Amino acid sequence: MEGPGAAAARFTGLPVTGERRLSGTLAEVTLDGGREVIVKRGDGDRAAPAEAAGLRWLAETGTVRIPVVHGHDERWLVTDRVATGRPRAEAAERFGRELAALHAAGAPAFGAPPPDGPEDAYIGLAPMRNVTGPDWPRWYAEHRVLPYLRRAVDEGTVHRAEAPVFEEVCERLPELAGPAEPPARLHGDLWNGNVLWGADGHAWLIDPAAHGGHRETDLAMLHLFGCPHLDRVLDGYRRTAPLADGWADRIALHQLFPLLVHAVLFGRGYAEQALTAARTTLRTG
């Protein structure tokens, strides 16, 4: 079978001079002339095409830094390697401004996939369907919260007696969602591990689950798993694109989706966090 080095050579057209495995699915490959690329093996037949389409869709806005995509097929994705440095406050504030501009680039609809991206995509290792909807509350309930709740209940990760709490959130979403907003162009899986602090003083985004969604969802993901200098990121964001009143009270609502995804993938601990987020949403809504 073709390995990462061969895939890198095929997509870049350059000879390979070195290869280093980073994980079971990632390798760092050095090309003739010293350029370094990251080669990622997709975990499903749609994973690499979905990620490549997402990276290109985000990059075309000219806002946040995105690694160059050299090529992909059903199995492999080859992108430039980002030289990383330390997260700095100035870079964080710049990232906030750039993220606001990315969101403002918009999407055709809530749930819209990137152009040429598959409808059946992934968020991390979990399948994610990009099905469009006319309004965010109904779409978020039907295509982000409830599918993962059902799977978590079926697998016993969320107890059946706990499901009505999530269902009540979904029923009340029109009143809990805050003011209506147009579809934003989302990274879609914006936890700290997918933000690289470049040696060039900029934040770079990798591994998107890009789609049209609510801009508060990306910000809630940054809160969920922590982000260096998050206060400065938010300062830069809000100076560029002010957030609607009550946005901080809706963080738990937007975290329901990633928490349920993690419950499906990693077990009961995340189900308990999702339950807490659902109860918080009902209490503060």
Active site residues: 189
DSSP assignment of 43-80: SSTTHHHHHHHHHHHHHTTTSSB-PPEEEE-SSEEEEE
C-alpha–C-alpha distance, residues 111 and 264, integer Å: 21
Length of the chain in residues, anyone? 285
Among left, alpha and beta (phi > 0; psi -120 to 50; other), residue 22 is: alpha
**3-state DSSP call for residue 131?**
coil
Q: Name which of 272, 226, 221, 230 is nearest 251 in CA terms.
A: 221
C-alpha–C-alpha distance, residues 179 and 95, integer Å: 25
